A and B are shown apart, each in its own frame.
Chain A
Amino acid sequence: MPFTRFIEGPAGVGKTTRAIQHVRDLLDAGARGDEMLVLVPQRALGWPYARAFTDPAWPSGTSIDVVTLGGLARRSLETFWPLVAERAGFAQPGLDPLFLTVETAQYFMARLVLDAQRTGVFDSISISPFAIMRQTLDNLSKAAVSQLPLDEVADRLIAAWGDRHSSRPPVYRACLDVARQFREHCLHYSLLDFSLQIEVFTRTLLSEPLYVRYLRSHYRHLVADNLDEEFSAVGDFIRWLLPGLESALLLYDTDGGVRRFLGAAPAEMRTLAELADEREEWREPVVAPPEMVSFAEALSSAIVPQAAAPAALAAVSLDQVLTVHSARFFPQMVDWAVAGIAGLVQAGVPPREIVIVAPFMSDSLRFALTTRLDEHGIATVSHRPSRALREEPQARVMLTWMALAHPHWGIAPPVQDVADALSRSIAGLDPVRAWLLAQIVYRPGQPELGSFDRIQSATQQRITYVAGKRYERLRAWLDAYRQTDSGDIPPDHFFSRLFGEVLSQPDFGFHSDAEAGRIIAELVASARKFRQTLYPDGAVDGWDDVLRDYFTLVQQGLLAALYLTSWRDEQQDAVFLAPAYTFLMRNRWVDYQFWLDVGSSTWWERLEQPLTHPYVLARECPPGQVWTDQMEVAARDDALRRLLLGLLRRCRRHVYAAIAELGEQGYEQRGPLLRILQQLRQASLGTQP
């Protein structure tokens, strides 16, 4: 057995720093970089390692693998595919694997879900096809990471209702039926979504002697960080890997486990400590000041009394670390936060030392904060959850031109869309002139756009000849495409060509628009993955149907933009705006945190996911468990406690909590977090001399 050390401690005590030093010590002692495996639950949690390993001063040698279990599985399956394809039940083992992202998995799932919906099986719950797809994939993934058979998922979900009447059981079964059809499809075409990657890797590849030999001779040292956020399957993998290693360092964040809603199994991961030769418990924070630590502990005790040490609030004046502001209306709350941030920046605080968190960041809240801070010259970087591609104005422009380039589809965009596309596509054409132009040249139902030359000269003058000339270039491109290439190129090529040959040329709207470049790059990537996933060998009789399918799915809002903020984005000197859970998963420390909408009960609520359940699908939950209201309350309390502890332990100086008495939707707000903060304030005042 290797020498195994298990270090446990809250966030901010220096565990990751220690792990990086450990890797360095191993290198100095003669180990090679490629003999080490650094396992993290999520890509962003590997950034501190990647940063250290790319520092110029880091020792030269082979690169060190910093991966998630999913990443390791994918990489291994890609290389060792011939060993497992047949054994794992793939119908065409000669076909190389194609790995599906959440987005590409939806291409197939969309058809299955829409078919199922038409039969009425989902009618008893109010849910969008997009949500059905997501939660069906979620169920597959949860089964894989908890290593449960798919049948058990439905059983567990149904059992959770106990004797209570529910219309859900047939819905769960329908969801699982869709999941099974999806799985069959994947097995037929060598497609691997996340769940299948994990299953084939753990069940088949890890019992393949050649791969086992390779893996065991390849890795001699393991570092596993943030085990509290890991899945049961990762625990199994570590137990399997340990005997062949020389050393292992296992790190566990006390009170972490905020990814339970994704299937993390913190309690089970903690049992890995039993395998350790040495266990260390670190308590001394190196980041948060003592006042913040006391505040965190007091808050924790107030939510779940037995969970933390007795409140040490008496020793601290809450004002040192917390400011609470109450505003009547939502916009006033935003104003207060913006003014506070502007004041801090003026006083010399770098914007990247400030984060704004809320349980959910609606588009309107994000927009309000971004524009208001922008007025103060303060940059922001925001993490957006996935949202439909069609919501992006630049993507809509491309879709409008796509529809007009294929008139035989019989899809006539509204005049307003054409006007918007014109105004965004042609430099110098304002919305009023674009509307005028659109009304004249575009007749829904007519196959082609009219010529600028045919417009009366007084109107031409109003639109301007310069804009008219540019419009003619765009029209000529669409005409030429219709006549020579229509249906001959796939959708991604269509977007690329339209973007490169017209819309990003000088005199056109996207010429120096980096944001348009980014969004259209995403559209192109999405369209490319779409056709590569559905038609991997490109064997189609013309691309017209594919173009149209893609267009329809985007229009239906079934394809999402991913918005993976990159490492590059987040290191900018900018205020970070994110849902609270997202911020925690970045594992960043900041001086100042602004918590918005503290009165909202959404701080305490679980994501509405009627087709799945994070707790009863966890392996540690006994099969047949009835999920009671008390369990739900306890789970929510526990999640809130972990969330707040995570936030406070990542704050060096001060928390500003803002309340809007009337929430974004105009309702009175008195959520649990607000009550707890008020309670603590009272207690704090009571202990002041």
Chain B
Amino acid sequence: MAIEMMLPEGFTFSQANLQDYIDCPRRFQLRYVQGQQWPAMVTEPQSEYETFKRRGAQFHRLVERHQLGLPAAEIAPGPDDLLLSAWWDAYLGFEKLHMLPGARFPELHLSAELFGARAMAVLDLVVVEPGARVTIFDWKTHWHVLRRDWLASRMQTVLYLYLAVAAGPGMWGDWLEPEMISMIYWFPAEPDSPVTFTCSRQQHQEHGARLERLLQEIRGRAAERVWPLTAEVRRCEHCQFRSRCGRGTVAGAFDEFEGGEDLWDAVGGVLDFEDVGEVGF
């Protein structure tokens, strides 16, 4: 069945849902093809996970405000959250970012055609120096630096770099070549250990080939059959569908939760362009 028939109209591929497919085709099927809601715990203790997410969101918002021109002194976090304050200080000391010339686009949403489907990326910050380079920043509010090879294999790296090349020239001009694009994962908890990925024409082609294979594989699946359950049973510990798949009872521990932040936007899938509009009355 064509992807368009299987997935809801307006479905947009993202790093999160593609990563879901890679991690477990069944999860992708339950979540996006069938749209099942399954309100089981993802991790325990849930309160730690919530604090982690809240702090991460606050940090993203602080940086966005600062990049939009709000004075640092007016937006600094209060003294209650020492960790957030430390991250904020680290951000203010992130010289490489602050010295970087160019126009700044915080929270930029890119959208492009992807092998007969639509894909989008939400970039934390893009700094564009016309005719010279495009630098994508991604804030990783994990408690430790993530391994370079792990990050390299993540759909986020593959898709963001691919979309920046695919959608970039239309946005910033024909001067943009893949070599001019780089992506920096920056960890406020370890500010001196950013992980940088650069792009090249060849790499762009490799990313494209990988994404195309992935979409072909998804297209080849039958919506009415059960898609393969992951062979890595460990993943099920942090998956809300654990009970649905008969893969365990209790949610896995938060400190063993590798994906962490990526799970924020993993739920949804359909372009939810505005989810409060109807709340008028």
The chain A residues found within 8 Å of chain B, CB to CB, are 32-34, 40, 42-44, 46-47, 50-51, 53-63, 65-68, 70-71, 74, 78-80, 82-83, 94, 96, 99, 101-102, 137-138, 141, 145, 194, 210, 214, 262-263, 489, 493, 495-497, 499-501, 504-506, 511-512, 514, 517-518, 520-521, 523-525, 538, 564, 566-568, 571
Contacts and interface: CB of A to CB of B under 8 A. Distances in A.
A518 B38 CA distance: 7
Given A55-B118, A59-B170, A568-B8, 16 more contacts: A43-B275, A61-B110, A61-B170, A63-B109, A79-B64, A80-B70, A83-B70, A96-B58, A145-B280, A496-B39, A500-B249, A501-B243, A501-B250, A517-B39, A521-B37, A564-B278
A538 B120 CA distance: 34
B165 to A, nearest CB: 10
B38 A521 contact: yes
B74 interface: yes
A194 B111 contact: no
A521 B70 contact: no
Contacts of A141: 280-281
A262 B278 contact: no
Contact of A50 (B37, B65, B170, B273): B273
A538 B70 contact: no
Contacts of B274: 43, 46, 66-68, 71
A70 B277 CA distance: 6
Contacts of A497: 40-41
A504 B65 CA distance: 42
Contact of A501 (B11, B163, B249): B249
Q: Range of interface residues on chain B?
A: 35 or more
A212 to B, nearest CB: 12
B47 A538 contact: yes
Given A496-B39, A506-B246, A82 B75 contact: yes
Interface in B73-99: 74-75, 78
Among B35, B109, B273: residue with most chain A CB under 10 A: B273
B231 interface: no
Contacts of B74: 82-83
B278 A42 contact: yes
A517 B276 contact: no
Interface string B241-281: 01110100111000000000000000000110111111111
A385 to B, nearest CB: 12
B78 A67 contact: no
A207 to B, nearest CB: 16
Contacts of A210: 69-70
B217 interface: no
A50 B270 CA distance: 10
Given A54-B118, A60-B166, A70 B280 contact: yes
30 contacts: A34-B109, A43-B278, A44-B278, A53-B111, A54-B10, A54-B111, A54-B118, A54-B271, A56-B117, A58-B113, A59-B170, A60-B111, A61-B112, A68-B280, A70-B276, A74-B276, A82-B75, A102-B281, A145-B280, A493-B41, A500-B38, A500-B39, A504-B244, A517-B37, A517-B39, A518-B36, A521-B39, A567-B8, A567-B10, A568-B8
Contacts of B209: none
B205 interface: no
B152 interface: no
A613 to B, nearest CB: 14
A63 B40 contact: no
Contact of A214 (B47, B69, B271, B279): B69
B10 A50 contact: yes
A571 B38 CA distance: 22
A78 B57 CA distance: 12
Contact of A60 (B58, B113, B279): B113
Q: Which 10 A-B pairs have the closest CB atoms?
A: A500-B40, A68-B277, A60-B112, A521-B37, A63-B109, A43-B277, A568-B8, A60-B167, A504-B243, A521-B39
B84 to A, nearest CB: 12
Contacts of B69: 210, 214
A495 B39 contact: yes
B110 A62 contact: yes
Contacts of B251: 500
A194 B273 contact: no
Given A33-B111, A53-B111, A62-B171, A567 B278 contact: no
A57 B277 contact: no
Among A145, A263, A497: residue with most chain B CB under 10 A: A497
Given A50-B271, A61-B111, A501-B250, A138 B281 contact: yes
